[in-house]
Amino acid sequence: MDDIAILGVGMHPWGKWGRNFVECGEKAARDALADAEVGWDEIQFVSGANSVRCGYPGYVSASTFANALGFTGCQLASSYAACASGATALSIARAQILSGVCEVALVVGAESTPKGFFAPNAGERHEDPDWLRFHLVGATNPTYFALYARRRMELYGDTSEDFAAVKVKNSRHGVFNPNARYTKEYDVDDIANSPMVADPLRLLEICATSDGGAALVVSSLEWAASRGVDNPVRVSGISTVSPTYPNSVIELPYLASDSWAAVGDETMTFKDNIAARAYEEASVSPEDLDFAEVYDLSSAYELDWYEHIGLCERGDAAKLLRAGDTALGGRIPVNPSGGLGAFGEAVPAQAIAQVCEMVWQLRGEAGHRQVEGAKVGLSINHGMFGHGSSVICTR
Amino acid sequence: MAAVEGLFTLDTDEPRLIGGRARSRGSYFFPKALAGSDPACLGDEIEEVLLSRTGQLWSYTTGEYAPPAPYVIPGDEFKPYVVAAVRLAEENLVVLGQVVEGVSVEDLSVGMDMELVIDALYSDEEHDYLVWKWSPTPMSENGDD
């Protein structure tokens, strides 16, 4: 797969601002344009990552953001893929660029979220698994994170202290990130003293819902060169894969896993496949990574990703953590940005924010959270119902 | 009455989940309406089947805070509850459900035998609204585990 260039990145800081999401997206977009030294009137295509929590303007995000910046007649696409929306929006921009439909594009996602648990859409919908899981089981998002965490404890011997150590690590990284919402350094006692939400996970270990915005200016390598940018950060792989049947893990928001009675076995999982596709497109392997940005929806969830992206064998993630390998200064830092533990989640902006962090790292502009000599980074997450999301950036 | 019709039988002694099975392929689904994730089932007839009512505990957790609607708080005030994911013995399919009241996480461990029961999800003046729940299989049936 051919690469595209990332010319500029921008973010609106994460927080609980009580502000229209459009303001967050517009600020991020203007910063990305300024960073790229590209004029808004030069942008030929806007790819918006939608929000389903901000009314109609959220469903037509590309138009909403283009309107905020001033309508210029550029082409638009708005897409939604839950937490994978940002990667999906980037993949659409890449397709437009590599097919020659446009040369330079803006990718934007932003959201303002209510406090507390995410809730399903209104109405009584007996065939919507998202409705059924709340009504019949009381299964919130943390329910699923906790099921995975408990399984790690029983299968691999991970402990609550391991999970807390993930949060401690990410909070130390987040201290150095001006866009993070939480910049306090937590210790294990802070976490042990926070209320239990879904056993074994406590409040400080579960991703909050945040407001924020993130944007990228991307172009063909030729267009970048025409602007004198000969060594840009490149998007070298994007994975937006679906699960492969049968996926033995119960994924959000379903009531049941796939059945592996007819074919397959219990070791087949969706999250392994997401990374595999990104590696394949980028022609890199886990050993090539200098750092990774993974979706720590919970502290324990970060450990699952170490295994899914091939940093270690299944069951060995806590060993990496305990050895300090995944902290800044370690062998393969994970979430140098501070991750969701420091940000909370602004759904359509989050996967784009992961790419922003990769760009700062690969340019050597990440300040105190810089991974020395970083050349290859991977971001990964997934959108509920089964949207894969992974991006590999290289320089 | 069932909180949602068509997902489980109301046989109070031996309740069963109502799932789907691809007739020639042999894949199982729950709920039946979600059949379709197996690409080999395209065009296969999905028959309605009653799923195993026993299985092994895959994982478990608690709900310590009241979820948003459409969750209905049973009774006057919210009480924390336990949630289990159980791998059905025959179908190799992991199914979520609440655990019956009186069982705490200290009573549970991954791999233990569980069985399906019918219990009230919530009630109003006219009805108990019923749902499936998971319960540890009584020790007498649990072998030497």
Q: Residue A372: pLDDT above 50?
A: yes
Residue A113 sits at the vertex; the CA angle it makes with A110 and A116, to the nearest 5 degrees, is 150
Share of chain A above pLDDT 70, in %: 100
The burial class, CB within 10 Å (0-12 / 13-18 / 19+), for A113 is buried
Look at A147 and B63 and tell me if their CB atoms are within 8 Å.
no
Q: Residue B74: pLDDT above 70?
A: yes
Q: Is A14 helix (H, G, I), strand (E, B) or coil?
A: strand
**Could you give the C-alpha distances from A212 to A57, A215, B40, B63, in angstroms and in order?**
16, 11, 42, 28
CATH code, A39: 3.40.47.10
Shared-domain flag, residues A269 and A379: yes
Per-residue pLDDT band for A27 (boundaries 50, 70, 90) equals very high
Residue A319 sits at the vertex; the CA angle it makes with A318 and A323, to the nearest 5 degrees, is 115
In this prediction, residue A362 carries a pLDDT of 98
In this prediction, residue B145 carries a pLDDT of 45
Shared-domain flag, residues A310 and A348: yes
In this prediction, residue A169 carries a pLDDT of 98
How far out from the chain centre does Cα B5 lie?
14
Helix (H), strand (E) at residue A342: helix A339-343
Shared-domain flag, residues A46 and A9: yes
Closest CB to A256 among B61, B71, B95: B95
Q: Residue B143: pLDDT above 50?
A: no
Window 183-202 of A, Cβ < 8 Å to B: 195-201
Domain membership flag for residue B102: yes
The residues, ordered by sequence, that sit 6+ positions from A347 with a Cβ below 8 Å of its Cβ are: A51, A53, A82, A83, A85, A109, A111, A113
The residues, ordered by sequence, that sit 6+ positions from A16 with a Cβ below 8 Å of its Cβ are: A115, A181, A210, A211
Return the minimum-mean-pLDDT range out of A275-289, A358-372, B40-54. B40-54
Return the minimum-mean-pLDDT range out of A50-64, A257-271, A371-385. A257-271
Domain membership flag for residue B9: no
Q: DSSP class of residue A40?
A: G
Shared-domain flag, residues A143 and A196: yes
Per-residue pLDDT band for A35 (boundaries 50, 70, 90) equals very high
Shared-domain flag, residues A18 and A76: yes
Domain membership flag for residue B86: yes
Q: Residue B142: pLDDT above 80?
A: no
Per the CB < 8 A criterion, the answer to whether A298 and A150 are in contact is no
Looking at the 3D structure of chain A, how many domains does it have? Answer: 2
Looking at the 3D structure of chain B, how many domains does it have? Answer: 1
Closest CB to A199 among B27, B28, B61: B61
- B29/A contact by beta carbon, under 8 A: yes
Shared-domain flag, residues A274 and A370: yes
Shared-domain flag, residues A288 and A181: yes
A-chain CB neighbours of B25 within 8 Å are 262
Domain membership flag for residue A95: yes
- A178/B contact by beta carbon, under 8 A: no
Window 75-134 of B, Cβ < 8 Å to A: 81, 83, 85, 90-98, 105, 109-111, 121, 131
**Could you give the C-alpha distances from A36 to A78, A87, A227, B71, in angstroms and in order?**
22, 20, 10, 47
pLDDT tens profile A61-88: 999 999 999 999 999 999 999 999 999 9
Domain membership flag for residue B36: no
CA distance A130 to A139: 9
- B74/A contact by beta carbon, under 8 A: no
A-chain CB neighbours of B95 within 8 Å are 255-257
CA distance A102 to B54: 57
B-chain CB neighbours of A135 within 8 Å are 3-4, 70-72
CA distance A370 to A15: 23
Per-residue pLDDT band for A312 (boundaries 50, 70, 90) equals very high
Q: Which residue of A has its CA nearest to B105?
A: A199
CA distance B83 to B71: 14
Q: Residue A391: pLDDT above 50?
A: yes
**Could you give the C-alpha distances from A138 to A130, A198, B74, B122, in angstroms and in order?**
11, 11, 11, 12
User: What is the domain range of residue A368?
Assistant: 129-205+236-394
| A152/A127: higher pLDDT | A152
Look at B110 and A199 and tell me if their CB atoms are within 8 Å.
no
In this prediction, residue A263 carries a pLDDT of 85
Q: Residue B141: pLDDT above 60?
A: no
Pairing relation of β-strands B81-88 and B94-99? antiparallel
Return the minimum-mean-pLDDT range out of A172-181, A259-268, B22-31. A259-268
Domain membership flag for residue A159: yes
The average pLDDT across B113-139 equals 94
Per the CB < 8 A criterion, the answer to whether A279 and A392 are in contact is yes
The average pLDDT across A46-70 equals 97
User: What is the domain range of residue B113?
Assistant: 53-137
Domain membership flag for residue B45: no
> Which residue from A115, A96, A135 is spatially nearest to A223, judged by alpha carbons?
A96
Shared-domain flag, residues A249 and A332: yes
For every residue of A196-229, DSSP letters joined together read EEETTEEGGGBPPB-EEEEEEEEE-HHHHHHTT-
Shared-domain flag, residues A294 and A368: yes
B-chain CB neighbours of A258 within 8 Å are 27, 37-38, 93
Per the CB < 8 A criterion, the answer to whether A234 and A220 are in contact is no
> Which residue from A354, A163, A392, A388 is spatially nearest to A271, judged by alpha carbons?
A388
Q: Residue B1: pLDDT above 70?
A: yes
Closest CB to A256 among B64, B94, B131: B94
The residues, ordered by sequence, that sit 6+ positions from B47 with a Cβ below 8 Å of its Cβ are: B20, B21, B23
Shared-domain flag, residues A228 and A250: no
Domain membership flag for residue A121: no
Q: Is A346 helix (H, G, I), strand (E, B) or coil?
A: coil
Shared-domain flag, residues A83 and A182: no
B-chain CB neighbours of A199 within 8 Å are 61-62, 64, 105
CB-based burial, B66-91: b 16+ in 10 Å, e otherwise = bbeebbbebeeeeeebbbbbbbbeeb
| Structural tokens at position B102 | 């009186």
Shared-domain flag, residues A102 and A149: no
Per the CB < 8 A criterion, the answer to whether A379 and A302 are in contact is no
Domain membership flag for residue B11: no
The average pLDDT across A298-313 equals 97
The burial class, CB within 10 Å (0-12 / 13-18 / 19+), for A367 is exposed
Domain membership flag for residue B83: yes
pLDDT tens profile A172-229: 999 999 999 999 999 999 999 999 999 999 999 999 999 999 999 999 999 999 999 9
